[in-house]
Structure 1
């Protein structure tokens, strides 16, 4: 049986650590076994990421029964909602960095003030996005080239999703506060509550079951908003309405402090830009592949969805590393913060390296689960196999970039993304695909090569250690 040795030489099994992670813990993340601290944070964060991915899967499953136009509505709207996700995740990065730093300093009043001001920032941003989304929904569909039937049934769906974007933003934001405080189990419970509500409400509101109205595709939007809203309400109660949590927010913590709000805005805005750069890169790569036909696009999308879905465990590990970095920097333990990142990075590289090997060896059987079309399966299998060569490197890159974010140094990974993705990967993909005649395979190779370059640059900058000096 594997064991971890804590600060008081108390040996504990992996199973007991996992139980602690799911039940919730008051563990001090700045002392004791780094491996145990990583497990306590990472397990619920990995499950949390899986819960977040489940929203779109559930909506698509039920909406698919309404026909192609309804599926197109969900797909087109999700491409815009992805921008809301970027905003929500960016705000959560700022909240996690600030709250974790204050918790590491044992300044729980400061952590509570950071939490309230993150809420102020989230309210302002989501209100602006909501007004713009409701007003511009028809123009957005026009830009996306939607057919008239899709626009007719899709406008209410998009207006509801964008108008009520606050439930998306705050689900990310409040969970980012919990992660910063080291309370990852609560963040997981919030997503379980939100997803459970969505799964129950989706068929009721889409098909008009029992006393509920039959709203069609609009019902999926209403169910998602209500489900996420219930999750946000639970998160708000857990953060602001109870007295026994790791972070206790009192009335005096709501006193407005412009400097604190500005600090959060600076960190979060750069984090949002960082995520938008990555999101835009995937869109550009699709555009490069598009000239080679719908079969190539379909194959690429299947391959992309598989390897992005399998990133979720590593994203959970990276989020755990960010919390450990923030809290240990706050505690004046930069060396422990760095060791946490190397341990997390090795774990992430090992997981994705193993998956990459599976992709290389068994790509064709894997994609066969998702499509019976031989032409599409050929592109999808090649995408998985080629990307698999660089998958291990990507695991380390994700963790090191998350470590920068946890330290509040959101500019460094933003510059890394701009340089590696826009100045290297996109030009390389275009050149290999168009000028050197490799077609879609040129794009696949550019992704794998970029993973490697991305990791080298991120690790070199991380080893310089300037992130240890970042004040938050």
Structure 2
């Protein structure tokens, strides 16, 4: 291993490890959150799970500014133009505040109708509506916090998002503990002592309140840290809504295809969820729990993707194409290794993973079949996440968008429909469609990466 490769590895891990730890924290708490709700039964699990597609869809809108602003900030930092980085950050947050406020009004107004549209039956409808309505209350600070977190990563600070994520997730678990369950006696292990613990007994409603409050508080903290003068870029509230046409153009040029990628995927997920919902409550619950279990598989890839975007953007901003290429290659190879390991874990231990969330044997068996199918695609799925990060760092976000359109709308939805309705493969058929989608996306994104046109992308850091 030569000296440059060692440096690339050190730089990559320096940025990636805090991001990976952050994702680990999110996944672990996601597990805990799901386990707590699952103790209420399959109906409660399905009531929360039916909303997952719409929550992903809403989160996708933050990608416009999370990616577009971050690339501009990171490229400016690479060129040592800190003033431009500050202006880019302010422009992104200002535009985000307007968009996210509009989203809040729209979603809160429609929250009573969306779960039914997604396929929720009478058994789970009321719980699903309540969960979505409460979750919606946190949209503005949560999405702004996501943009602020991405800006911090763009300046190379991945430790603060990690620490805040830990705080938010612990708060979420504590909130669940007191709000979901009724007042009960808890035995202290290895003793005969029982302690009476107060509980609100709100069930799904309690889970929604806890999630909303913790996410909202996390968002406020992220925003505060950008404005309190503690970072290398210093933002001021008086500069909000001072829009600059040129910067807005650069932000939207990079961010629009990136958010388009997420929106295309998540609009497709809505139809995909309706296909799964048509299979029944057990399949809805198994799909939700298997998706949660699978999230452990791409934790490393998510961290390496953050590193790829940040380091590639900073290298290109500094005019160092060789470093951008080397860092992108290291992140890609690391993602293949991590994905291979994750795939083996999903295939060998699916029962153990599903059993963490549910004691319903029917739900567990459905989830095992889904996880063993998706295990085979994990190496290239992880690689796709990281290569998308490489291309985003160069501002090349159109190809991942095209890959998402082709994969979701022309591969996943069509093949899943065939597997479910013609071959009658149930939930396994839906996940076979997902496997084919992820494989096709990798082929498209890898082709673009391998051509290396992204190294010659236009980088503007002095307007």
TM range (shorter): 0.7 to 0.9
Distance 2:180 2:286 in 1: 30
Q: 1:218, 1:368 → 2: CA distance?
A: 24
Could you tell me which of 289, 298, 307 is aligned with 2:294?
307
1:241 aligned onto 2:228? yes
The answer as to whether partners of 2:66 and 2:255 remain within 8 angstroms in 1 is yes
Q: Does 1:83 align with 2:57?
A: yes
Question: Are the equivalent residues in 2 in contact too, given 1:131–1:163 (CA < 8 A)?
Answer: no
Structure 1 Cα separation of the partners of residues 443 and 34 of structure 2: 38
Q: Which has the higher contact order (CA 8 A, sep 6+)?
A: 2
- Residues 55 and 224 of structure 1 are in contact (CA less than 8 Å); yes or no, is this contact kept in structure 2? no
Aligned to 1:138, the other structure's residue is in SS state coil
User: Is residue 109–residue 253 contact of structure 1 (8 Å, CA) maintained in 2?
Assistant: no
Match of 1:420 in 2: 407
Residue 50, structure 1, aligned to residue 24, structure 2: yes
* CA pair 79-361 structure 1, distance change in 2 beyond 3 A: closer
**C-alpha displacement at 1:271, in angstroms?**
1.7
Find the counterpart in structure 1 of residue 170 from structure 2.
196
Conservation of the 8 A alpha-carbon contact between 2:35 and 2:357: no
Q: Which moved more, 1:204-213 or 1:337-346?
A: 204-213
Alpha carbons of structure 1 residues 260 and 38: separation in structure 2 relative to 1, 3 Å: same
Alpha-carbon displacement from aligned partner over 1:120-162 (angstroms, at most 9, x marks no partner): 0111011101111222222224423546685656655433321
Change (3 A) 1:164 1:384: closer
Aligned partner of residue 319 in structure 2, secondary structure: coil
RMSD: 3.4
Aligned length, in residue pairs = 445
- Whole-Å Cα distance in 2 between the matches of residues 290 and 275 of structure 1? 22
Partner of 1:333: 320
Change (3 A) 1:366 1:34: same
Q: CA deviation at 1:336?
A: 1.3
Secondary structure of 1:304 counterpart: helix
Verify the 8 A CA contact 2:339 2:378 in the aligned structure 1. yes
1:394 paired with 2:381, answer: yes
CA shift for structure 1 position 281: 4.1
- For the structure 1 residues 133 and 451, does the alpha-carbon distance in structure 2 shift closer, same or farther, using more than 3 Å as the test? closer
| Superposition pairs of residues 261-300 of structure 1, within 5 angstroms | 261-288=248-275, 299-300=286-287
8 Å contact from structure 1 (residues 138, 151) kept in 2: no
Q: Is the 8 A contact 1:409 1:467 kept in 2?
A: yes
Q: Matches of 2:279 and 2:205 in 1, distance apart?
A: 34
| Separation of aligned partners in 2, 1:221 and 1:302 | 17
CA distance in 2: counterparts of 1:148 and 1:375, whole angstroms: 21
In the alignment, structure 2 segments of 5+ residues that lack a partner are 184-196
CA contact 2:180–2:203 (8 Å) conserved in 1: yes
- Specify whether residues 251 and 167 from structure 1 end up closer, same or farther in structure 2 by C-alpha distance, changes over 3 A only: closer
Q: Does 1:470 align with 2:458?
A: yes
Provide the residue aligned with 2:67 in structure 1: 93
Whole-angstrom distance in 2 between the partners of 1:380 and 1:68: 13
